[in-house]
Amino acid sequence: MIAEHYKELVQFIKSADFSKAVMGGIAITVPIVLGIELGHFEVGLAIASGAFWSSPSNVSGSYRNKVYGILFSTALVMVVSFIGGHLSFEAWLIIPVLGVLAFAIAMISVYGFRASLISLCGLLALVLSFAHDPEELAIWQFALLIGVGGLWYLLLATLLYRINPRAQTEEFLYKAYWLTADFLETRGQLIGEQSNRKTLQAQLFTQQSELMELHSALREILIRRRKDSGQSIYSGKRLLVFTQLVEILETAVAHPVQYDKMDELFKTHPEYVQHFQTLIFEMSRQLQMIAAAGSDATQLPPNGKLNEYFSRLREEISTFGNESNNNEGYLMLQNLLEYQESQFKKIKEIKWLLGNPDTDSIEFIAGNVARRFIVRQDYDPRLLLRNLSFRSSIFKHSLRLSVTLMIGYALGTVFAFQNPYWILLTIIVIMRPSYGLTKTRSKDRIIGTLIGSAIATGVVFWIQDPYVYGALGVVTLVIAFAMLQKNYRASATFVTLSVIFIYAITQPDILTVIQYRIWDTLLGAGLSLMALLWLWPVWSFLEIRQNMENSVKANKDFLNEIALYYQRKGKMPTSCKIARKDAFLETSNLSAAFQRMAQEPPSKQKNLDKIYEMVELNHVFLSSLSSLSSYIQNHPTTSASEEF
């Protein structure tokens, strides 16, 4: 147990999230420390603010997209902080201006995930610009220094990338190995009669959706990396490894198990359950060992144990076929064995590629072919205009967010909260377009704030050293950044600790700060949840029909491509592979939409059982299509008839 936790800790410290968190801590701390040392604290604070406000846009993706994202976010926070610095009016005038600006910034999210994080940068700058004191720095000076902070953060991000350009690729591949291993293990657990089979099948659907989402991110990283930095042996081999991981998933989906018939067979021959599970679990374990090996070819697992398991099963199934009259059972076992052999072949291919083979023996994927698998983001300005409608979920979310921010600021001003902008900050980081995620983040934020406040109170009473507070503030901030994507509750705990420690340096009455911090969080979380319920709510039962239509259309396109492939024969065309990828992606989107619906209030879960049946049927249809394409690809077939 201790060894497992130690491995998790080491992997966490080696992760890109931790590296970015340390970099963020440096980007914020160094300007402030230098500012204090040189007697220009306000300058250092402005640069640190610019670095902090630009950091959310630094997410996974190609290096070029990261650079563009940070530059756009830097430009946005400069403009927003300049405008926000002039909002020194009466509350009745500030509130509508705040709403208009928040709505305009939030609408940037129509341009995709990275754009939504650039939008978050702008919203942070808008809210926190209320804390700027124009007596220390002129507003234009403050805005320029914010820009310097963004460029300072970009410099650090570039240095981090140059030091270890492969870190992101290796980390995402590590996740893909582990998640694929978990997926195979779950399929292994489903073999044999199970009392919790429905739970395991639901778990399998979730893992399948997570894998598809991870594949989309990894596909963009690998293909855009080749486009930005040119062809390299490393990138080419990792793209081929990724292709094998995708094939493992799609081959598994193409071979659904008839559990009722399998149960009948295994009742009379239970030894096959253990033997097949031993084989599957060993393949899962080998993928985990490949993940642990990373780029070290000497740590790759040998094939000996799996070869032994396959030899034993081949002999047993052959004996069963010769001695038994159960032809259906024999064919079932033989098909299951052939499926496992095809998966083993892919695992061996991965190990071969990672084992530094002769490059002349590797058939790399052409760049122009690989780029066809990437979905390009539409940046047409008309897209923004098309979304200015209540038919757009982004429009309704932006409107809901802006109104909630206005209400939060009004309540904070009327009831004389210490810092009303903390209420706004809570709303910004908690509120999401979906009810389920907002509810979860609200709960985690409140619990994290309470835990952090309790711990900070004990530390402040025990230690009265401002230097210790400063060190703890930086350390807890780094941990908060690192945990943000992994555990939001833990991240909220460390954010609270960091804020309280930093305030404790200058504020003698720290208990008042803690008290207001708790009230700010409770009010912000409460307003976010109420807004999701009552202000232009977007319920999944109203939108899942579109997801279903998209999935059915993608399956239809995949079927058409399979028909063309059957007629033409030969090697599977790229167009068929792209159609298969789109079908899997839309099926994943449909599953995600259903999961969001299941998290919503019971009154909004209309026809949940029927929709689940539709989602399940869609999975079955995709499995059948995958089986058909796999059969045509791996078996000789006759010419297409006129009736076909």
pLDDT for 70-91, tens place per residue?
999 999 999 998 888 777 767 6
Mean pLDDT within 510-522: 82
pLDDT of residue 34: 92
Helix axes 574-598 and 233-253, enclosed angle (nearest 10): 60
pLDDT of 366 higher than 70: no
Same domain flag for 611 and 470: no
Same domain flag for 269 and 316: yes
Mean pLDDT within 568-572: 75
Residue 405 belongs to a domain: no
Same domain flag for 217 and 299: yes
191-233 pLDDT per residue, tens: 866 667 778 888 888 888 888 888 888 888 887 766 555 557 7
pLDDT of 372 higher than 80: no
Same domain flag for 186 and 218: yes
Scan for tokens 């657990």, then name that residue.
Answer: 189
Mean pLDDT within 258-283: 82
Residue 381 belongs to a domain: no
pLDDT of 438 higher than 70: yes
Same domain flag for 157 and 210: no
Mean pLDDT within 35-51: 88
Same domain flag for 159 and 191: no
Count the domains in the chain. 4
pLDDT of residue 517: 82
More confident residue, 188 or 366: 188
Residue 427 belongs to a domain: yes
Residue 527 belongs to a domain: yes
Same domain flag for 176 and 158: no
Euclidean distance between CA atoms 506 and 134, whole angstroms: 20
Percent of the chain with pLDDT over 70: 91
Percent of the chain with pLDDT over 90: 15
Euclidean distance between CA atoms 558 and 561, whole angstroms: 5
The whole domain housing 91 covers 1-164
589-606 pLDDT per residue, tens: 888 888 888 877 877 777
Q: Which two tokens stand for residue 367?
A: 């760049």
Same domain flag for 118 and 9: yes
pLDDT of 235 higher than 70: yes
pLDDT of 359 higher than 60: yes
The CATH number of the domain holding residue 311 is 1.20.58
DSSP state of 372: G
pLDDT of residue 231: 57
Residue 46 belongs to a domain: yes
Same domain flag for 490 and 595: no
- Helix (H) and strand (E) counts in the chain: 25, 0
Last residue of a domain, one of 115, 130, 164: 164
Helix axes 574-598 and 197-229, enclosed angle (nearest 10): 130
pLDDT of residue 163: 87
- φ/ψ region of 194 (left if φ > 0, alpha if ψ in -120 to 50, else beta) reads beta
Residue 392 belongs to a domain: no
Last residue of a domain, one of 481, 516, 535: 535
The tally of CA atoms less than 13 A away on the side-chain side of residue 320 is: 21
Task: Give the distance from CA 95 to its chain's centroid.
Answer: 34
More confident residue, 127 or 403: 403
- Residue 584: pLDDT band by 50, 70, 90 thresholds? confident
Same domain flag for 212 and 346: yes
Last residue of a domain, one of 373, 395, 429: 373
pLDDT of 364 higher than 70: no
Amino acid 158 reads: T
pLDDT of 334 higher than 60: yes
Same domain flag for 114 and 145: yes
Same domain flag for 283 and 232: yes
b or e along 52-70 (b: 16 or more beta carbons within 10 Å of the residue's beta carbon)?
bbbbbbbbbbbbebbbebb
518-563 pLDDT per residue, tens: 888 889 889 988 888 888 887 777 778 888 888 889 989 988 888 8
